């Protein structure tokens, strides 16, 4: 049995696991990130968490094959640094991989949280029986990950799968630094909430789920928002399918808690927008692993060192 360390580094909490190649967790340490203390402080916290794990199952750190770290935002997988770090100020270009590797003498890898979640699903979850899979999470933002033979395809600078900035409505809403009409600004949970509040007010729409609830109750404004979501998301799926023709899609994120409202129509529209020979051959699956942050990060060294 081979063992790996996975670190889920977020803006609020940081969590470290000892995991085997089957995804079973043996030891866990977690705590507040305390990002306001700066990257050196947070990096030292990660080091202490790694040192605090119980390694009795593998005979100590010498029984660990490697370390994986999952972080929010785009990552330069070549240098092992974060390119943008809005949730972790000061971590842009911070050499976290090098510092962890130098401390423990173990291969150390960094990737974004959507990618490690997609890797977890490919190795252990919904896509484990498929040669290729494309994972999409749709919640606060929209992220994606392409996995081939249990290995992430990161591209030249780690941006492969960064679908949130793809344009689906030319000249549409501009969110932050993203393109006008980008996926994240049009069909994310944040976008649905914004549109719902513009139409119905903040008292009736607290989150994206409220939009679909009101739509199901017959509210025409929310039905229009929901219809636009289905059209946009099915177009996104079709564009990805025509580009890489994955064996399956795996879908997750908070927006899919409301899937009962839109699922059948989403599948129908997706298949109507792809080539005839592809129709009904690319299943849309739901994510199976709830705890995919640290576990997925632990799969990074497993996939890279094979």
- CA–CA dist 28, 32 (Å, integer): 14
Spatial CB neighbours of 177, under 8 Å, sequence gap ≥ 6: none
Q: Is the pLDDT of residue 248 over 80?
A: yes
Taking a C-beta distance cutoff of 8 angstroms, is the pair 67, 98 a contact?
A: no
Query: Residues 62-105: pLDDT tens digits?
Result: 999 999 999 988 888 888 999 888 789 899 999 999 999 999 99
Alpha helices in 201-291 (DSSP H): 208-216, 220-244, 259-272
Phi, psi of 256 (to 5 degrees): -80, 0
DSSP 61-116: GGGEEEEEEEESS-EETTTTEES--TTSTT-BT--HHHHHHHHH-S-EEEEEHHHH
Cα–Cα distance, 219 to 215 (Å, whole number): 5
Domain boundaries, the chain: 3-118+291-304, 129-286
Neighbour tally for 162: CB within 10 Å:
21
Please determine, for residue 177, whether its predicted confidence score (pLDDT) is greater than 90. Answer: no
Structure confidence at residue 74 (pLDDT): 84
| Segment holding 118, helix H or strand E | helix 113-124
pTM for the structure as a whole? 0.91
Domain 3-118+291-304 identical in fold to domain 129-286 = yes
How far CA 260 is from CA of 232, 263, 266, in Å, comes to 17, 6, 11
Tokens of 199: 């139409």
Asked if the model's pLDDT at residue 238 lies above 90, the reply is yes
Taking only the tens place, the pLDDT of each residue in 23-53 is 899 999 999 999 999 999 999 999 999 999 9
Residue 126 DSSP code: T
Kindly report the CA angle at 135 between 133 and 117, in degrees rounded to 5?
110
Exposure letters 96-124 (e unless 16+ CB within 10 A, then b): bbebbbebbebbbbbbbbbbbbbbbbbbb
Place of tokens 């947070």: 42
CATH architecture of 129-286: 2-Layer Sandwich (3.30)
291 DSSP 8-state letter: -
Mean pLDDT value of segment 171-198: 95
Q: What is the CATH number of domain 3-118+291-304?
A: 3.30.420.40
Cα distances from 266 to residues 129, 226, 261, in angstroms, run 24, 11, 10
H or E element in which residue 301 lies: helix 292-304
The residues, ordered by sequence, that sit 6+ positions from 77 with a Cβ below 8 Å of its Cβ are 109, 110, 111, 154, 157, 158
Task: Output the average pLDDT for the chain.
Answer: 94
Show Cβ contacts of residue 105 under 8 Å, excluding neighbours closer than 6 positions.
none
Instruction: Answer yes or no: is pLDDT of 158 > 80.
Output: no
pLDDT number for residue 304: 87
């Amino acid at each position: 049995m081979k063992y790996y360390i996975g670190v889920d580094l977020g803006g609020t909490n940081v969590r470290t696991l000892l995991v085997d190649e089957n995804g079973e967790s043996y030891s866990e340490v977690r705590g507040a990130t305390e990002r306001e203390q700066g990257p050196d402080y947070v990096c030292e916290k990660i080091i202490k968490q790694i040192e605090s794990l119980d390694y009795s199952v593998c005979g100590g750190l010498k029984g660990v094959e490697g370390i994986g770290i999952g972080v929010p935002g785009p990552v330069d997988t070549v240098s092992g640094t974060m390119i943008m770090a809005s949730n972790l100020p000061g971590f842009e270009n911070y050499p976290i991989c090098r510092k962890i590797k130098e401390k423990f003498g173990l291969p150390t890898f960094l990737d974004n949280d959507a990618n490690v979640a997609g890797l977890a699903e490919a190795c252990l979850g919904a896509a484990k029986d498929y040669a290729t899979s494309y994972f999409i999470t749709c919640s606060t933002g929209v992220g994606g990950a392409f996995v081939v033979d249990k290995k992430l395809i990161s591209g030249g600078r780690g941006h492969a799968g960064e679908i949130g900035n793809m344009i689906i409505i030319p000249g549409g809403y501009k969110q932050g630094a993203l393109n006008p009409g980008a996926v994240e600004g049009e069909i994310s949970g944040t976008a649905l909430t914004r549109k719902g509040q513009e139409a119905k007010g903040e008292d009736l729409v607290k989150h994206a789920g409220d939009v679909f609830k009101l739509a199901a109750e017959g509210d025409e404004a929310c039905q229009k928002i929901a219809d636009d979501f289905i059209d946009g998301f099915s177009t996104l799926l079709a564009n990805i399918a025509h580009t890489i023709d994955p064996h399956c899609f795996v879908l997750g994120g908070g927006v899919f808690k409301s899937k009962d409202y839109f699922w059948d129509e989403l599948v129908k529209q997706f298949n109507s927008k792809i080539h005839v020979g592809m129709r009904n051959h690319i299943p849309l699956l739901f994510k199976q692993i709830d705890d995919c942050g640290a576990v997925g990060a632990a799969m990074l060294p497993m996939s890279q060192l094979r």
